[in-house]
Amino acid sequence: DGGITQSPKYLFRKEGQNVTLSCEQNLNHDAMYWYRQDPGQGLRLIYYSQIVNDFQKGDIAEGYSVSREKKESFPLTVTSAQKNPTAFYLCASSILQADGYTFGSGTRLTVV
Amino acid sequence: AQSVSQHNHHVILSEAASLELGCNYSYGGTVNLFWYVQYPGQHLQLLLKYFSGDPLVKGIKGFEAEFIKSKFSFNLRKPSVQWSDTAEYFCALGSDNFNKFYFGSGTKLNVKP
């Protein structure tokens, strides 16, 4: 079955450490996105990529980095510069944005 | 600036009650509007979408939404809710060039059996 796989489902990180969240899709979608979901704030766009080797900052990119070396993969690194990293992170993809997104199941990151 | 507002943060209804969730947007270009649903422990799923044409859009599971341009609104409705509709609902706006989606803060719906 085609879809988006995010791993791990739960992740714990010590303060000061970088951590990378995985997002893989086998839908042959061109565009991929990373969102952060916080209670009462909805989804906020971190980074997005429309094609391989190209990506753009979203609304809250500070403290995050991404890469898009392959069409199928769009990993997100939460760096130690991110002041409030504890959140639920959602990856999404689309072939034509007008059709809407397909979402992954998310990764819940907790900084301890 | 583009934005999406959902004013109802938490709605509690009994089964068979009618539902209307508000969504207002601010955007200067051509609007593409969506409603997504997130059932407990599950992925976000697309409920329905509006691009153009008939402003009354029908989606899955008996949901519908009406685009009212003069009110900048895209409210979600269902005539009779079920316990299985308990979920969080997000309104979203797609930008002109489809580079970005803007999401509202979400509405948690709790349907009492």
Across the range A1-13, mean pLDDT stands at 88
Please name every residue paired with A22 in a beta bridge, in sequence order, or none if there are none: A7
Residue of A nearest to B108 (CA): A40
Transcribe A18-36 into DSSP letters: -EEEEEEE-S--SEEEEEE
Contact assignment for A105 to B101 by CB distance below 8 Å: no
Using the predicted structure, report yes or no on whether residue B99 has a pLDDT greater than 70. Answer: no
Q: Within the 49-108 window of chain A, which residues sit less than 8 Å (CB to CB) from chain B?
A: 50, 56, 58, 90, 92, 96-101, 103-106
Using the predicted structure, report yes or no on whether residue A41 has a pLDDT greater than 90. Answer: no
- On chain A, the residues whose CB falls within 8 A of the CB of B3 are none
Contact assignment for A35 to B103 by CB distance below 8 Å: yes
Closest by CA position to A63, among listed A90, A40, A36: A36
Across the range A26-43, mean pLDDT stands at 89
Q: Dump pLDDT digits (tens) for A43-74.
A: 899 999 989 999 999 989 999 999 999 999 99
Question: CA-CA distance, A29 to A94, in Å (whole number)?
Answer: 5
Question: CA-CA distance, A94 to A85, in Å (whole number)?
Answer: 26
Q: What is the reported pLDDT for A40?
A: 76
Chain-centre distance for alpha carbon B7: 12
Residue of B nearest to A9 (CA): B41
* B61 Rama sector, left if φ>0, alpha if ψ -120 to 50, beta otherwise: left
CB under 8 A, 24+ apart: contacts of A57-65: A58/A33, A58/A34, A58/B100, A60/A36, A64/A34
Q: Dump pLDDT digits (tens) for B72-83.
A: 999 999 999 999
- On chain B, the residues whose CB falls within 8 A of the CB of A92 are 44
Across the range A30-42, mean pLDDT stands at 89
Q: Dump pLDDT digits (tens) for A75-100.
A: 999 998 888 999 999 999 987 656 67
Using the predicted structure, report yes or no on whether residue A31 has a pLDDT greater than 80. Answer: yes
Question: CA-CA distance, B8 to A105, in Å (whole number)?
Answer: 25
Question: CA-CA distance, B23 to A5, in Å (whole number)?
Answer: 30
